[in-house]
A and B are shown apart, each in its own frame.
Chain A
Amino acid sequence: MTDFLQLTFSGLTTGAAYALVALGFAIVFRGTRAINFAQGEYVMLAGVTAGALHQWAHPPLAVVVLAVVLMGALCGVATEVVCVRFTRRPDPNTITLATIGLGVAIKAVVLLATDRQAYTLPGFSGDATLHVGGAVLEAQALWNCALVAVAAGALAAFLRWAPLGVALRASADDGEMAAASGFSRNGAAAWSFALAGALAAAAGAGLAAVSPVNYDFGTLLGLKGFAAAMLGGLGSMPGAVAGGFAIGLTEAWFAGYVSSTYADVVAFGVLLIVLFTRPTGLFAAVRVERV
């Protein structure tokens, strides 16, 4: 029982990371109908930057986090300029392809700039741990879960009620109609990329406090976050959260009870099953294309 609880805690810790990445996929998809494959590299970039900033200047942790979140948002805007604005017709496929290239570039730049060094942050509340039923949970995992809850809630509320959020959804659903009502498609894309960048940055800071982050850290994380987003239903905020935790927990249980060597296959096994049986994911409604 203690072991089960311990594996579950481990699953929650990694699940929170996947959920944060999946939320980033969701918001870009909602704003542009494209898949931002640079999302994992954003997280890596933010984690490395946060760690380097902490190591170099020792500012208070809150300053580090705010600085990287701001940087993340700016990176998001830059992505939009590179991947969307320079395209004559920013159709989702072009944007998706462009983000793949961008992801590779970010990874290469970080590799060169950091000399492959890894960076960490101290836990937001130190090295504190909680003991529950004989199992141990690090306090940072709770911070990251809280981050997931706040981010998912805020994004869902934003899309539902904020005028800008509504415009963003409208633009993704029917760009020309939204443009006719005075909201530019590029504006929608810029906002969704900025949000995704800020989210990734918060995730990067949270993760650097759990384990060291280096240039190689984002790729697998991004793919697993994508699997989580697909599982929950691309574009759905609750789906992204549920998908992230589902994959994190399945992975931990699989590693504990079946084989730790092949635990990384779990996420992609799940992805394949979802694609074969229910391509819209668990939460998203089937999208009806009206002609």
Chain B
Amino acid sequence: METGRFSPRRLLALALLLATATFALAACGSDDDDAGSATAAGGSTAAADGAAGGDPIKIGSLFSVTGPPAVVGDKMRKGLQLAVDELNAAGGVEGRPLEVVFYDPAGDTNKAVDQTRRLIGRDDVDVVVGGGSQSGIALAMQPLLQRADKLFMATEGAREIVQPADERATTFKSTFNDTVVLQRTADFWRARGVRGVGFLPDTSGFGESAKAELEGLAPDAGIAVESESFDPTATNLTPQLTNLRRASPQAYLAWTTTPAATTFLKNAQQLGLGRSLLQLGFGSADPAFFAQAGAAARGALLSAGKLPIYDRLPDSDPQKATIARFVEAYEARYDEPANVFAAQAYDGVQLVAQAIRAAGGDLSGRTLASALEGLGSYQGVNGDFRYTAEDHSGLGVDAVAVSEWDGRRFVPARDGLTE
């Protein structure tokens, strides 16, 4: 008959099951709080090396260097550290060195909220740069930091982080709104004589937001837009493209952050749509998406920041020198290519430093916010930041460029930089 209920083998099986589940959970959100603080201490040692004396200014920072957004978070953290070290080497800000207090929420919003409370309470930081490398996390951190009157410079994308601006008084971000990217794209289409566009947003928040924006701005631009959505994990976009091609659009634009970008290029070429413009949004700025589509990607377009094509910009572009300086410093230090995410965090720190200087060292959230709004224009890596009381996102269409994949790298597209 049956042996006891808790025979050793049964226990072993149970333990294995539990172990599997625990391991999986841990992998999805590994907790490195202690490791995080330890490295934060590393950061502060670097700060003390600077020439500046006086009490350090504490910058709280949350980036997901593990967990699902890790690819983004890792670059952001490196960009932040580069900016902090450069500022400290130059004597700090207002005569005080910068010190970083860093935590890794690993893509977990609950954890990020706890860590934010710790930044405000125990660590008593002065400002916060970085919202966990994920828009949802930044949105959750925003009210806590505002209540504590801390300046919050988010390095995440969603418009809602800083809108409406009158309810987000002390929150700013150093990233593009999809609005300006789409506006620039529409300008480009007009210059190229495109009147009809087939739009493929994915069904994530990123795609949905762009869909609402584009369908809102297209009529004013005289462009007819048809939209067909797709699941972010889709492996075949032929049905969507088949529907869209009925209207014979001169351009197809896909809006996603997933490898569906590659599928879009391949499927469109297979259907023989290559005579129209095939274009992707700034969520697909990773060169790997284009490289993997092989020959199908040649001539495909990308609407994004200028970083991928900075060395091909005209010398008259004020952004060229700024990007070049950043890219050289970053690559010299980390021995890997810089990207837009590293630049977002780098710009965030520099902007905060500008604000602290303008406020004469006053670190309260409201004072720093009005200092940022009064900066006028600041040339960052990702563009010319012009914050106002109504716009806490700062970047305008002039920071966006349309570039073209030539088979190996991005180059400026014809009419891609038109004002």
Contacts and interface: CB of A to CB of B under 8 A. Distances in A.
A-B interaction: yes
B239 A260 contact: yes
B24 A105 contact: yes
Contacts of A263: 231, 239
Contacts of B238: 6-7, 9-10, 13, 252
A192 interface: no
Interface residues of A, number: 52
A104 B231 contact: no
Interface in A206-250: 207, 210-214, 216-217, 220-221
B contact residues, range: 35 or more
A125 interface: no
B262 A212 contact: yes
A282 interface: no
B9 interface: yes
A50 to B, nearest CB: 13
Interface in B170-214: 203
A176 interface: no
Interface string B277-300: 000000000001100101110000
B246 interface: yes
Contacts of B246: 3
Interface string A257-280: 000110110000000000000000
A217 B233 contact: yes
Contact of B243 (A105, A138, A217, A256): A256
A212 B270 contact: no
A116 B71 contact: yes
Interface in A113-166: 115-120, 122, 127, 129, 136, 138
What is the predominant secondary structure among interface residues of chain B facing chain A? helix
Interface string B1-40: 0010001011011001100110110011000000000000
B379 interface: no
Nearest to A119: B292
A189 interface: no
Interface in A182-206: none
A211 B235 contact: yes
A289 B262 CA distance: 50
A191 to B, nearest CB: 21
A290 interface: no
Given A108-B23, A117-B288, A127-B295, A136 B203 contact: no
B236 A10 contact: yes
A217 B242 CA distance: 23
A101 B231 CA distance: 25
22 contacts: A6-B242, A7-B239, A7-B242, A87-B10, A88-B7, A88-B13, A101-B21, A104-B24, A109-B27, A116-B68, A118-B292, A119-B292, A122-B294, A127-B294, A127-B296, A129-B270, A210-B236, A211-B262, A211-B266, A212-B292, A252-B238, A264-B231
Interface of A: 3, 6-7, 9-10, 13-14, 17, 82, 86-88, 94, 97-98, 101-102, 104-105, 107-109, 111-112, 115-120, 122, 127, 129, 136, 138, 207, 210-214, 216-217, 220-221, 252, 255-256, 260-261, 263-264
Interface of B: 3, 7, 9-10, 12-13, 16-17, 20-21, 23-24, 27-28, 68, 70-71, 203, 228-231, 233, 235-236, 238-240, 242-243, 246, 258-260, 262-263, 266, 270-272, 288-289, 292, 294-296
Given A17-B235, A86-B12, A105-B27, 6 more contacts: A6-B238, A87-B10, A104-B20, A127-B296, A207-B235, A212-B259
